[in-house]
Structure 1
């Protein structure tokens, strides 16, 4: 099985999420199930069946996060000392045509979050940037054509 990279911040977030699911969410569902059982006949008890289904989804999510944590290699990006864009880098790009700037962090797939501008190191943008330095121009193939970016900044946290 191939180990997938994960930043130390991503590992901490997954462990926190797992702890919440295992403690407070399991406890909440236990109370919901007890309450639904108190309503009587379980065969026709929609609340009970919905709670059981939610319990199954919760356990699947817990298993999924545990498997992600078991199959990862944690990389402490704060200790990286390179001028090149590599896994964990926070890279600011400028679209050469539109002059729009975007900042992304290249992270493992388990911690990808577009709302926080964390993209997979396997994404086309990250793949074009990895190994490059500030001032380099990279081309990214997109469905609407090729876009060229200049790397404006690379930093690590």
Structure 2
């Protein structure tokens, strides 16, 4: 049985759009590549055919993954998210106690994670350790580089 996936409405729509594009456009484009490669003759030594078949496998795998994620998704409404503790979809202001710097993260599902925009997965080492914490708590997070220490300064919903 697969885990439930929590998504924002925007995240759900983005994945749904990707699925629709894969099914209606990309799948057809890959089939055209396979047909073209087949027309070149001997398939046993046809690198173009092998590449197209590999691409087809990747596309079908992604379609399967998206269908699974979307079928188990629960869409969270940000107005229903509490800010007494760190939950999925909360934005957390932290003080890095080792560097004396402030950082801000929004906790999201793995499917919506985007570290460049401060969105980290609740399944990441930082996300896992922040869940359930309250303002004022000190969090020690074991990461490959060592132990990171943060103080939770603020919790909000953007």
Please give the TM-score of this superposition, normalised by the length of structure 1: 0.82
1:5–1:75 CA contact under 8 A, matched in 2: no
Q: How many residues align?
A: 157
Change (3 A) 1:41 1:103: same
1:95–1:149 CA contact under 8 A, matched in 2: yes
1:57 deviates by: 1.6
Q: Does 1:4 align with 2:25?
A: no
Q: Which residue of 2 aligns with 1:100?
A: 101
Unpaired runs of 5+ residues, structure 1, are: none
Calculate the aligned-residue CA RMSD, in Å.
2.3
Aligned mates of 1:146, 1:92 — CA distance in 2: 18
Change (3 A) 1:54 1:151: same
Q: Which residue of 2 aligns with 1:38?
A: 39
Change (3 A) 1:41 1:67: same
Change (3 A) 1:65 1:40: same
Q: Which residue of 2 aligns with 1:84?
A: 85
Counterparts of 1:17-56 in structure 2, within 5 Å, are 17-56=18-57
Q: Does 1:137 align with 2:104?
A: no
Please give the TM-score of this superposition, normalised by the length of structure 2: 0.81
The secondary structure found in structure 2 opposite 1:17 is helix
Unpaired runs of 5+ residues, structure 2, are: none
Report the more deviating stretch, 3-12 or 58-67: 3-12
Change (3 A) 1:12 1:40: same
